[in-house]
Structure 1
């Protein structure tokens, strides 16, 4: 590995870091509670000499928010896997974390070696090097979000996910999040699996507090009063509707305030995150007869691009006018993340659970959509852009 004596010559060339603060700010917006999770993390980190702490839970219940809040409070190293933005390859994780380790601990490498992202060897070497520099009470905590979104085809078959080391040196800890899925991960170092779904009562209290804080907002109070409800009744009933899902509330509460549910009673609101998606799908006319094929095509193109795309590119992929695409984007804005890239506004699906909904067999069949055709259409346009009509 190439080292340099003069670390001042190094510049921050980490392409992932510019996006990290935006992600953290977004995830911790209106954050409440979760002290029981932080206490469990701190207990593990203070009683073990090294190890992996994994938070496991269903989509939308707050895994990423917990990790982001912990990073914000403790200034950890962090990598966010984001399948829908094209950041889910093992090489991207290794490049990001190795660069952060070198910069944070002033290690004498002027650049990453060519083979740094080929496997986990260089990461392991850096962790050992950092471990020897730690003071008695010092720790290195590396937070990694959404292991379930990692593209396993981007690494060797049978290897640990992201080439995470089976052994860790003293003072080195990983904080991980994932859905309840089986992943290749075998380690011979302390580990703790924290199943967030088993903490129903504690999560219920946090969700209740989240709703109570929202009821202080004027537009929401007006909606409640128009239906002759008390804030207690509203909180209690919406709590049941939410099924302890923060993503559900993140969608539903702003839509109530915008007037999208002005014609509904509290009892008529959808139940659960998938129920919310189903309800919104119908309200947006996606099941109308005849089927709105142009709308459906544009929404599915957004769901399948797996990276932020501009209005112009969506228009090209879907073979539709940009004004038509803009109309659909305006209708579905609450499901989309906007970010400026090269002086253009680019769009991607905000949460992976919405792509799960789009892939549901009953939704695909009812929409008469062929997802393979959508992906083929995108690939054909990419090919034309690279090679023309060869």
Structure 2
């Protein structure tokens, strides 16, 4: 199949075609300077990813091209474990084809609002849309919302249709799994708040990469999206081809060839063994090759390589632990880099890690160097960052991870990164002799201090400081709010949530006064006193009697919410809602994480329930389309669809009846139906209501398992299974 020509725009924002050269970013509008600042420049990735030696992936690129050539619009999601080369693939596409791009691994690029602005700025420049969307060379109010990017994308598609009809418009977005959670009310069901597939204009495609595990509940229609797994036989074959090229190809790596000769290792054996040991994980391969070229590992010693990337990291750390300075310099430095979300210079790292420059420089430039990305700032100072996200993951183990023979290393690394967050927090807080001066903090402190403080247990302290609340990035603070644990801290955060929507264009003095008012209402008295002083008002509120309560607003439904339920699903406490927009949403009770959006009903969702059925936690919904749907709570599997009602399903319930787990539904057809959760058996149909059934429940009453229903006939029916027969039912009418 011939590769399609991708369209970005008439010579506007494009990546350079020579993968050995830098990316060039050109803005067509001469007054575009402020929008230019919004675009994340991917040029630093060229050297880090070694794009000059990009090899293979023809099979994967061909599948992307096939999707673009045969579909009307949609998403291609390239998925794989850490280290298999997803970012290198995305960068290769950007370097060799014109497309709008975003890489979350760049500094500051994980924030959904900034990612969407970067994509929009590229589209505006490419298609000459500045006059329509950014008059005065500035983003308008509301540009941080997901729907604004969609408006820009639609306008770009319309301009494309005028100039280059039918040519696909491509966006390449790398690292969806590393994206921050969206702000409340800005979730689209896709990380970064990207547009849903069904909302994309025709001939617009988004090629995204992600590790496995990040929910993307909005991508459910197989016509509009496709997943390509990177790992597998094709990936391993690409690795073998790459190794063959550098070891015995027409232009081999001469230094590698020399080391193979000196070690008496055949090139064929070397390529096969190394590919097998690295198992398709490209970052592992690069680590080993660099160690061989640096003389740190013999080509004849490949059989001793640990099984897997994590084990390789742990082997390195075990070696560092035996060296002088690890506990006082090496570990604090590495933990600090794992905690930071941006590169840092030597002097700054010294302050964060409490280390003097010379021993710190030795660790960074010698022992830790293979695992760090080193760049230079405008003053040519060396900037250090963790080279690959897989190393950062080592400091944040999950409960399900199992690492053999780690000798307590994972616990030690976790403790060290908490200490690093504490040091960074202490350094970023702008302490003065009179308290804290928050007016001069930089953008990184505004956006990242909430996360650092939450990780080390200091967020409660900060949310009682009105200066911090006025200065901190709102989305970042709300995302970390679940880390607040004290009553006073929760009251302070509650006051912030209740007044932040009323700030609008108020100055800091007026905002501080609003904080004072709401802090009194929520009884956050320490915050109230400090906010009153900060406001400069000659009057204060001594006490407030308020009958309202603090609350968290969960927004996202595009219409009326018809039903809600609370329970446990996917091993955690959740809130579930169903609405007239046809979606079921699974919410984090704190409102900090994006909801999982379940789609499939052809019409409004009238009722939802949470419970256990068929030995697992499930979500059940009933809707206008007459179906009962049994959902996987994470949205990763297709729902079981139960059909039979001759009308709207008005109510559903989950529980035990007749000694087994059941799903019960009631409908406008006047029936109550008792379903097998797996949909394998025909439902039991209970009739007795003289009109629509409006509500059903399952539980125990008078020591027995019962089903209860209520209907438009003003009756409540109590259903009991017959004791010696399964053929009939009996009910009591109230």
- TM-score, normalization: structure 2? 0.49
Counterpart position of 2:394: 357
Counterpart position of 1:379: 425
Counterpart position of 2:195: 165
Q: Does 1:78 align with 2:101?
A: yes
Residues 158, 86 of structure 1: alpha-carbon distance in 2 compared, 3 angstrom cutoff: closer
Partner SS for 1:338? strand
Residues 90, 79 of structure 1: alpha-carbon distance in 2 compared, 3 angstrom cutoff: same
Please identify runs of 4+ aligned residues in structure 1 that moved more than 4 A: 287-291, 385-390
Rounded Cα–Cα distance in structure 1 between residues aligned with 2:426 and 2:206 = 40
Aligned-CA RMSD value: 2.5
Counterpart position of 1:149: 178
Counterpart mapping for 1:229-248 below 5 A: 229-248=265-284
Q: Unmatched 5+ residue regions in structure 1? A: 1-6
Counterpart mapping for 1:311-330 below 5 A: 311-330=346-365
Higher relative contact order by CA 8 Å / sep ≥ 6: 1 or 2?
A: 1
Q: Does 1:273 align with 2:309?
A: yes
Asked if 2 retains the 8 angstrom alpha-carbon contact of 1:24 and 1:69, the reply is no
Q: Does 1:132 align with 2:158?
A: yes
Question: What's the offset of the Cα at 1:365?
Answer: 2.3
How many pairs does the alignment contain? 380
Aligned pair partner of 2:385 in 348, 356, 361: 348
Deviations 1:58-83 (A, max 9, x none): 01111111111112221111000017
Q: After alignment, is 156-165 or 349-358 more displaced?
A: 156-165
Residues 30, 388 of structure 1: alpha-carbon distance in 2 compared, 3 angstrom cutoff: farther
Q: After alignment, is 297-306 or 365-374 more displaced?
A: 365-374
Counterpart position of 1:310: 345
Question: What's the offset of the Cα at 1:89?
Answer: 0.2
Counterpart position of 2:290: 254
Partner SS for 1:72? helix
Question: What's the offset of the Cα at 1:113?
Answer: 3.0
Residues 351, 29 of structure 1: alpha-carbon distance in 2 compared, 3 angstrom cutoff: farther
Q: Does 1:191 align with 2:220?
A: no
Counterpart mapping for 1:53-64 below 5 A: 53-64=76-87
Deviations 1:258-312 (A, max 9, x none): 10114962322333322321222223x2266996333211110111111111111
Residues 332, 38 of structure 1: alpha-carbon distance in 2 compared, 3 angstrom cutoff: same
Deviations 1:170-221 (A, max 9, x none): 1211000000013244156711111223xx2211211001111222323322
Counterpart position of 1:3: none
Rounded Cα–Cα distance in structure 1 between residues aligned with 2:47 and 2:434 = 41
Asked if 2 retains the 8 angstrom alpha-carbon contact of 1:287 and 1:366, the reply is no
- TM-score, normalization: structure 1? 0.89
Counterpart position of 2:116: 94
Partner SS for 1:327? helix
Residues 389, 314 of structure 1: alpha-carbon distance in 2 compared, 3 angstrom cutoff: farther
Rounded Cα–Cα distance in structure 2 between residues aligned with 1:94 and 1:385 = 34
Counterpart position of 2:327: 292
Rounded Cα–Cα distance in structure 2 between residues aligned with 1:245 and 1:368 = 24
Question: What's the offset of the Cα at 1:353?
Answer: 0.4
Asked if 2 retains the 8 angstrom alpha-carbon contact of 1:159 and 1:184, the reply is no
Q: Which structure is larger by alpha-carbon Rg, 1 or 2?
A: 2
User: Which one has the bigger strand percentage?
Assistant: 2
Residues 371, 114 of structure 1: alpha-carbon distance in 2 compared, 3 angstrom cutoff: same
Residues 8, 278 of structure 1: alpha-carbon distance in 2 compared, 3 angstrom cutoff: closer
Counterpart position of 2:468: none
Aligned pair partner of 1:10 in 28, 31, 36: 31
Deviations 1:93-123 (A, max 9, x none): 1110010000011113343433344311111
Rounded Cα–Cα distance in structure 2 between residues aligned with 1:388 and 1:327 = 38
Partner SS for 1:122? helix
Partner SS for 1:192? strand
Rounded Cα–Cα distance in structure 1 between residues aligned with 2:431 and 2:52 = 39
Asked if 2 retains the 8 angstrom alpha-carbon contact of 1:299 and 1:328, the reply is no
Rounded Cα–Cα distance in structure 1 between residues aligned with 2:213 and 2:156 = 32
Residues 372, 282 of structure 1: alpha-carbon distance in 2 compared, 3 angstrom cutoff: closer
User: Which one has the bigger helix percentage?
Assistant: 1
Partner SS for 2:415? coil
Asked if 2 retains the 8 angstrom alpha-carbon contact of 1:53 and 1:175, the reply is yes
Rounded Cα–Cα distance in structure 1 between residues aligned with 2:375 and 2:257 = 32
Aligned pair partner of 1:206 in 215, 223, 238: 238
Partner SS for 2:53? coil
Rounded Cα–Cα distance in structure 2 between residues aligned with 1:387 and 1:264 = 62
Rounded Cα–Cα distance in structure 1 between residues aligned with 2:157 and 2:244 = 44
Rounded Cα–Cα distance in structure 1 between residues aligned with 2:243 and 2:172 = 28
Residues 265, 9 of structure 1: alpha-carbon distance in 2 compared, 3 angstrom cutoff: closer
